Structure 1
Amino acid sequence: MSTTPFIPKQAQEALAVGPAAIWKELYGDLMDELARNLLSLAPPITAISKIHDNGCGNALAELQKAVVADSWPVTTEVVDSNKLTFPDGSFDLSITNMVFAAFKNGTEDVQAAKEIKRTLKPGGPANANAFDHNPRNTIIRDAHHATRGKDAASLPAMYFAYYESSYFRKALGDAEWDSVRYVNSGVWVEIKDLQRFANIAWAVTGQPSTGWTEEDEKNWDNATSTIIPGLQEGRGNGFIEKDGTHHVRSIVTTALLQK
């Protein structure tokens, strides 16, 4: 009897291009754009500034290659953001880019916020962010419930879709950050082929916690067909089509913190 997990043929086709290409098609320059926004809102960085890029574990391997190749004054280390190993007051600036949604609401997110504060120097600034509205994630979540029922368990890969900006703000408050200023900004992401995007997005994030089933293969078109019109509903304010290329807008809440 085979123990190989079942994967819909549509998912196999969508994922055949490999992880790097998939990430690029799904997110484009979104994370880079968000990181640039965080840095643009930070105070000036000097040659002796000690900066913590918090929660960037997925990028550590690629970063380390660049550190070695370009001799950057950067140290990479895998550390739990809820249990940072750095001493109190280690950093001049802390940056936490799209990390809070990965934490459990009300517990881990609060602890992570406390650790950011602990490891900053007195009076030091920190910038962190979370989605206030991300139509891409919301639509994929809606496709999940539309095809599997409104009571279906949350999708494991869709934690961004279930973490609200109100949770982010509450976590910072519960961590006793007294000096906080919030800034909302829009970020546009390019999608070249809507059908391609729908297939990849569903292949990457649509798998239930119990695994794919043959029913998911049969219902594939039903799921992906809800994603495209869902994106297009935001015409003008959240969706622009120009010269065959589509742009979808997300709203991000950035917290400017001061210890």
Structure 2
Amino acid sequence: MPHGEALQHTYYYTQGRDGLMPALLLLEKCNESDLHATLQVGEFKNENISCSEKTCYLKVPDMKRWAQLAWSCLGDRSTGWSESDGDKWDDAIDDIVKQLANGDRIKVKDGETVTV
């Protein structure tokens, strides 16, 4: 997911590296061998498992609004939002937009942001 690294960066930027990363912002990346291993634990047979790559596109007409929505859902600490989190809200949103704009899987086409 192209937004994962941007949100992780912003989490560390606003919260520091202490404490737990929110569950939906896990640091580990899932690759094909991880998927195979997980399915095998679920008793799927290796010969019945196949993987393929799909490219998906998402048009985002307002990246700042998207960042606000994503951060409100994914930036919450395990202890909940604090008053200091509110004080850092604008900085967090600006950082997400900056990270996405500089990401290698985010493009602007016809005035709209497209994630691939």
TM-score, normalisation: structure 2: 0.82
CA RMSD between the two structures: 1.9
Larger Rg: 1
2:73 alignment counterpart: 204
1:241 is the counterpart of 2:108: yes
In the TM superposition, residue 218 of structure 1 has moved relative to its aligned partner by 0.8
SS for the counterpart of 2:3 is helix
1:33-86 Cα offsets, whole Å, 9 max, x none, are xxxxxxxxxxxxxxxxxxxxxxxxxxxxxxxxxxxxxxxxxxxxxxxxxxxxxx
1:165 and 1:177 mapped to 2: Cα distance?
19
**Equivalent of 2:18, from 121, 142, 151?**
151
Matched AA of 2:53: N
Change (3 A) 1:151 1:162: same
Report 1:1-259 matches (<5 A): 134-156=1-23, 158=24, 161-162=26-27, 164-166=29-31, 167-174=34-41, 175-179=43-47, 180-235=49-104, 238-249=105-116
TM-score, normalisation: structure 1: 0.40
The answer for unaligned runs of 5 or more in structure 2 is none
Greater helix share, 1 or 2?
A: 2
Matched AA of 1:154: M
2:54 and 2:18 mapped to 1: Cα distance?
33
In the TM superposition, residue 220 of structure 1 has moved relative to its aligned partner by 0.9
Aligned length: 112
The answer for unaligned runs of 5 or more in structure 1 is 1-133, 250-259
* Greater RCO (CA < 8 Å, at least 6 residues apart): 2
In the TM superposition, residue 176 of structure 1 has moved relative to its aligned partner by 4.8
